[in-house]
Amino acid sequence: MMGGQNSKKPLTSVGVAEAHAGLAAGQFTSVDLTRACLDQIERVDGALHAFLRTSPTDALEAAAMADRARADGDARPLLGIPLAIKDVLMTNGIETTAGSRILEGFVPPYSATAVQKLKAAGAIILGKTNTDEFAMGSSTENSGYGPTRNPWDLERVPGGSSGGSAAAVAADEAPAALGTDTGGSVRQPAAFCGIVGLKPSYGRVSRYGLIAYGSSLDQIGPITKTVADAALLLEIIAGVDPQDSTTMPVDVPDLSAALTGEITGMRIGIPKEYFVEGIQPEVEAAVRTAIEQIASLGAEIVPINLPNTELALPVYYLVVTAEASANLARFDGIRYGLSIDGDTIFDHFRQTRGAGFGPEVKRRIMLGTYALSAGYYDAYYLKAQQVRTLIKQDFDRAFADVDVVLSPTSPTTAFRIGEKVDDPLAMILTDIFTTSANLAGLCGISIPCGFDSDGLPIGLQLLGPSLGEEKILRTAYAYEQSTNWRLRRPEL
């Protein structure tokens, strides 16, 4: 409890909207809130390892400035609210490593557009969160700096690759965080950690300043405690950016206005391909109970088919590894990061990349290089892009008939650390329900919908068409407000 707070719950439990209201009402100061978050990080992060680094001095100085600005009438939406940033996003003056030893010590001279927008809205950066190396993973076990642990069970993974951001928010180390989603890396860790993760449509948020993994798939998205907070953060970070030609030249809607709680008449598609053998029974039961709850709120439940779903994972891993092979060629030890001298320039490259990249990154670079190589390009990469079009067409047909597609976020709850790390195929299958959205450029959100018998959170996924964030947020908010899952927090 910090001075000036009139609530019984700890100050660190507030979300973004709640923090804004409390600051505006003078119930606590930004310095109070920021110090509370830093104290919570100090208290629990030794066990969690959600953060790779924090900036306590800078954060407290920024908080003091925010308090002075508020006293002078500044009312920006994030003024004085501390947030966490996934370590694949450039932060001016703060070391940014993408969870890789090859970038150890790299301090960017500029910030990602999404980070700039948060700071322009008044946000304070607490620090950088752990991630699978170059965002390549589903468990945050592939970090070059050690794994992050799940706040609900320290023997379990938090999901990945945005596991550090998800664990930080779930553990009340930050009111919210930014993550990135290439094949489910915002939604799956949000599901594993019992919070909200929003993947915007491709092109909704600028990727400028994001250390690229799969350029046609990557999107930056908020990880929050509530749907309303996710809507607010997306409003702030979204929009066209001249630095990123893939951003769509469309106005950002008032997403918060979509949160009416009213979904009567909305058509919710349930794909039979997403309820298949192998789903943890408790996950399927919780999601089917959520479907009944959404129906009771007035939505119409519509069975749909997405026939090319089974092809999504092989297509995804061909496309994303090919793009990773091209994107990671720039990390050669010449201009920044790790540099190991060799007898020749090629020996220098081999030594630097051999020591700097971890085994999963090497595996994906080699897969992608093979798929792009002469004699295999047409058979693998080109064919994958053609099938990708079929997957998108499945969703186009579905969204001609329904507003939102509903599924589990992940087929299981959080698995044990080390359980799948030596079985790449088993690890890949954790993304079976999330990768299609990235291939098709859709928006998606994961929200809590229950717990299994081990007390681990279960995630419900809602997918919408490109630029359909209002629909998924409206549905997610109505469900969230009709249940109490969002109120449960891990005991650390």
Does 97 reside within a domain? yes
Q: Indicate whether 458 pLDDT > 60.
A: yes
Does 336 reside within a domain? no
> What is the average per-residue pLDDT within 175-203?
98
**Which tokens in the block code for residue 346?**
């090629």
**Catalytic: which of 55, 100, 143, 161?**
161
pLDDT for the residue numbered 139: 98
Q: Indicate whether 2 pLDDT > 70.
A: no
Beta 219-224 vs 196-199: how paired, if at all? Answer: antiparallel
> What is the average per-residue pLDDT within 350-356?
95
Residue 82: give its domain's CATH number.
Answer: 3.90.1300.10
Specify the higher pLDDT residue, 474 or 9. 474
Does 329 reside within a domain? no
Does 360 reside within a domain? no
pLDDT digits (tens, 9 = 90+) for 404-421: 999 999 999 999 999 998
pLDDT for the residue numbered 5: 40
Q: Are 69 and 124 in contact (CB under 8 A)?
A: no
pLDDT digits (tens, 9 = 90+) for 81-100: 999 999 999 999 999 999 99
- For the chain, the average pLDDT equals 96
pLDDT digits (tens, 9 = 90+) for 148-169: 999 999 999 999 999 999 999 9
Beta 457-464 vs 404-408: how paired, if at all? Answer: antiparallel
Lowest-pLDDT range of 43-57, 255-269, 307-321, 416-430: 416-430
pLDDT for the residue numbered 9: 83
Query: In the chain, count of helices (H) and strands (E)?
Result: 15, 11
pLDDT for the residue numbered 422: 86
Does 404 reside within a domain? yes
Identify the band that residue 425 occupies on the pLDDT scale cut at 50, 70 and 90. confident
Provide the 3-class DSSP secondary structure of residue 84. strand
d(CA 416, CA 471): 34
Q: Indicate whether 7 pLDDT > 60.
A: no
> What is the average per-residue pLDDT within 436-463?
98
pLDDT for the residue numbered 46: 98
d(CA 59, CA 40): 14
Is residue 206 among the annotated active site residues? no
Does 108 reside within a domain? yes
**Catalytic: which of 86, 117, 225, 420?**
86
Does 472 reside within a domain? yes
Is residue 185 among the annotated active site residues? yes
pLDDT for the residue numbered 4: 38
Does 344 reside within a domain? no
Determine the structural domain holding residue 201 and report its residue range: 11-313+382-487
**Catalytic: which of 185, 201, 325, 466?**
185
3-state helix, strand, coil in the chain (%, to 5): 45, 15, 40
Q: Indicate whether 258 pLDDT > 70.
A: yes
Number of domains in the chain: 1
Q: Indicate whether 445 pLDDT > 60.
A: yes
Is residue 201 among the annotated active site residues? no
